Amino acid sequence: IAKNPSEPEFHQAVTEVFETIRPLIEANEEEYKKQAVLERITEPERMIKFRVPWVDDNGQVQVNMGIRVQFNSAIGPYKGGLRFHPSVNQGIIKFLGFEQIFKNSLTGLPIGGGKGGSDFDPKGKSDREVMAFCQSFMTELCKHIGADTDVPAGDIGVGGREIGYLFGQYKRIKGLYEGVLTGKGLTYGGSLARTEATGYGLVYFTEEMLKCHDDDIAGKTIVVSGAGNVAIYAIEKCHQLGAKVVTCSDSTGWVYDPEGIDLDALKEIKEVKRARLTEYKNYRPNSEYHEGRGVWSVKCDVALPCATQNELFLEDAKQLVANGCIAVCEGANMPTTLDATKYLQENGVMFAPGKASNAGGVATSALEMSQNSERLSWTFEEVDSKLKNIMVNIYHNIDDAAKRYNKEGDYVTGANIAGFEKVLNAMLAQGVC
Ligand code: NDP
């Protein structure tokens, strides 16, 4: 904490990992101390912070902060999204980069951990303003990334439009047509099923977890938070598998639709109009719209937090338990606070941490990198079936790791140990670096 002041989210992420890998560390205490394993894994290999000046539609120069944290390259080139949101700061990007190391390790694919972003807010900006910002951002970032060194992707506030502008500027400056970003459009190197991957992957994971507990996702009532990329495609896959999602939310309010969220309406509002959820009632008069937060108060079997970090608190966890919720699987990164996680686990709720259950996005990004390298495109079905296999394997991998350390059913411990072990072995094999 003294070394990294004012970074509460980073401290929270490190605390969760270190608390749970204790048995692994204790079994090798002397060696790991000598090798300064914990010190090395919490210090990013490199952090680049830069100024992003751009001109708005009134001719006014605006200045934002840009950052890329290249956290760990032990098992592959840095990989992780870019977040454009006014709340972005160094501590948030470091927490996301740190989590990304273990998540990427769990996918079984050769990708290291990184993350980046800016405090720029794309909301309410014209396309020209977003382009001007992206071009300026990439003018600096392009010096530090490449298809074999660091491959960013999208995250909050960075979707297909932003990736397109970023890719165009990279190509223009570097003169290279390479897979330097993932989440690209299908006409210029994107992968089928990447848009759907995080949400679909989350639901494949949840389906497998329930199946291994002699249960079925079909027929379940599900609450989802968020209304962005992850939330929309989680809702789509839940409905395809016969479950009913009754809520979604954005940063101003939330929707309750007892008949099940109308996905066409949601996509139209969020993906086409880029509007607010207040509009949902125009499409579904029987639904309810509420200001503020509240999705966790709705009775459900399964909860899928898919908006942002620290959005499910202890009091929400208590409400979920009281309402009979049996599983919480994280679609967002660290949406559940540490005390809420503990409460859910202690009260018999199956709890899947984001680094396992939302790994489908980055896994499919790695599949996009493979397709770019061989200059081929796979079919939707091929990518989707690989995604499903990866999610099923992640579930079994973390379940086994938890059992190996006598923590059966503790998927937080299982995910952290399984993710950490592989990275650590690679780091130790590569010497002091
Ligand atoms: P989007 O920008 O597409 O959507 C984010 C959604 O969450 C929006 O509905 C947004 O509402 C809401 N939201 C954002 N910040 C807040 C907040 N402070 N309070 C309440 N609601 C908020 O992002 P994604 O769907 O891509 O990402 C969602 C989460 O999933 C993030 O934690 C991200 O790191 C994680 N994730 C994303 C992956 C991906 O492939 N996209 C991969 C793995 C994890 P509003 O429109 O009002 O801002």
Residue 335 neighbours by CB distance under 10 Å: 25
Give me the interface pTM, i.e. the ipTM.
Answer: 0.98
Residue nearest to atom 17 of ligand 1 (CA): 251
The predicted pLDDT at position 355 comes to 97
The atom of ligand 1 lying closest to the CA of 249 is: 9
Active site residue 220: no
Query: Measured from the CB, is residue 105 less than 6 Å from ligand 1?
Result: no
Phi, psi of 253 (to 5 degrees): -170, -175
The predicted pLDDT at position 2 comes to 81
Q: What is the pLDDT of residues 89-123, one digit of tens each?
A: 999 999 999 999 999 999 999 999 999 999 999 99
Ligand 1 center–CA 412 separation, angstroms: 21
Quick check: 185 and 372 in contact, CB under 8 A? no
C-alpha–C-alpha distance, residues 229 and 113, integer Å: 21
The predicted pLDDT at position 370 comes to 97
The predicted pLDDT at position 333 comes to 95
The predicted pLDDT at position 307 comes to 98
The predicted pLDDT at position 4 comes to 86
Mutate to test the pocket of ligand 1, among 250, 293, 304 (most ligand atoms within 8 A of CB): 250
Mutate to test the pocket of ligand 1, among 95, 99, 156 (most ligand atoms within 8 A of CB): 156
C-alpha–C-alpha distance, residues 98 and 109, integer Å: 17
The residues, ordered by sequence, that sit 6+ positions from 208 with a Cβ below 8 Å of its Cβ are: 391, 392, 395, 396
With tokens 């990736």, the residue in question is 163
Q: Which one is catalytic: 79, 94, 115, 184?
A: 115
The predicted pLDDT at position 5 comes to 87
The atom of ligand 1 lying closest to the CA of 334 is: 32
Per-residue tokens: 382? 């091929």
Residue 308 neighbours by CB distance under 10 Å: 19
Query: Measured from the CB, is residue 402 less than 6 Å from ligand 1?
Result: no
Quick check: 225 and 311 in contact, CB under 8 A? yes
C-alpha–C-alpha distance, residues 21 and 419, integer Å: 10
Query: Measured from the CB, is residue 152 less than 6 Å from ligand 1?
Result: no
Low-confidence ranges of the chain (pLDDT < 70): none
Ligand 1 center–CA 130 separation, angstroms: 18
Quick check: 184 and 154 in contact, CB under 8 A? no
Residue 251 in 3-state DSSP?
coil
With tokens 């952090």, the residue in question is 47
